[in-house]
């Protein structure tokens, strides 16, 4: 096995799971998410020589995936409402066996994430799952950092509001909106 193939294997094993989660929350469809990972990895293989820094691998892959998703999104001109409904329907139930209060809260949060409009959900995913800074998100989305800050603020604000009895949500809404 040559070095290039070994590098690719390592990349796949290290990041396929993260890519899948990112793709899943982006598109809300497990099958499409897997396709996105496959397409992303094939593109990554072709462009592997441009990856010089192992630390940059994850954001590099997530960027490829996000663009791949955007291309598919433009091609299919998906109805955002349908997309969101699809995401809600396919949310996995990870609450079995968990603390009932925490489980209920997580379920509410999952549903709230699914309800987020893509313009809020995408930068949030890039920040939380991808580790991108506001400046990096702005550069990737082609908007100003201030606009990204606003989108992230509103995304979290909506999520907190959705959590019933959440003090932080009330506080945030009260103090900063």
Partner 1 sequence: MECLEFRRRLTAEPGSRDPEFLAHRDGCHAGCTESWWRSQRFERQLRNVLQSVDAPEDLGERVLLTQATSLRGRARHRWQIGLALAASLLVALVVAGYAWNLRTTDGGPLAGMAIAHVRSEAFSLTMTRPIDAAQMRPVFAKRGVALRDVPAHAVFAADCRVGPYRAVHLVLRENGSPITVLYVVGHRIADARDFSRAGWHGREVPIGNGTLVLLGNGSAGFAAAERAVTDAVMGATLQTEQT
Q: Which residues make up the interface to partner 1 (CB under 8 A)?
A: 8-9, 12-13, 16-17, 20-21, 24-25, 30, 34, 37-38, 41-42, 45, 92, 94, 105-106, 109-110, 113, 125, 127-129, 134, 149-150, 152-153, 156-157, 159-160, 166-168, 171-172, 175-176
- Specify the residue, 58 or 156, whose C-beta has the smaller distance to partner 1: 156
Buried b (16+ CB within 10 A) or exposed e, 101-129: eeeebbeeebebbbbbebebbbbbbbbeb
CB of 111 to partner 1, least distance (A): 10
Q: Tell me the C-alpha distance between 132 and 142, whole Å.
A: 14
Q: Tell me the C-alpha distance between 3 and 145, whole Å.
A: 38
CB of 12 to partner 1, least distance (A): 5
- Specify the residue, 73 or 153, whose C-beta has the smaller distance to partner 1: 153
> What is the torsional sign of CA 137, 141, 145, 151?
negative
């Amino acid at each position: 096995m040559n070095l290039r193939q070994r590098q690719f294997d390592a990349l796949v094993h290290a990041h396929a799971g993260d890519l899948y989660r990112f793709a899943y929350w982006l598109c809300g469809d497990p099958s499409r998410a897997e396709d996105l990972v496959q397409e992303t990895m094939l593109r990554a293989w072709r462009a592997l020589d441009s990856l010089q820094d192992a630390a940059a691998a994850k954001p590099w892959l997530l960027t490829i995936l996000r663009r791949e998703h955007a291309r598919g999104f433009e091609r299919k001109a998906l109805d955002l409402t349908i997309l969101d409904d699809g995401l809600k329907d396919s949310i996995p139930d990870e609450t079995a066996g968990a603390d009932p209060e925490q489980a209920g809260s997580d379920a509410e949060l999952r549903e709230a994430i699914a309800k987020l409009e893509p313009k809020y959900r995408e930068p949030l995913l890039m920040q939380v799952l991808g580790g991108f800074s506001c400046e990096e998100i702005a550069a990737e989305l082609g908007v100003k950092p201030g606009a990204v800050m606003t989108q992230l603020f509103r995304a979290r604000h909506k999520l907190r509001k959705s959590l019933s009895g959440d003090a932080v949500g009330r506080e945030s809404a009260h103090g900063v909106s």
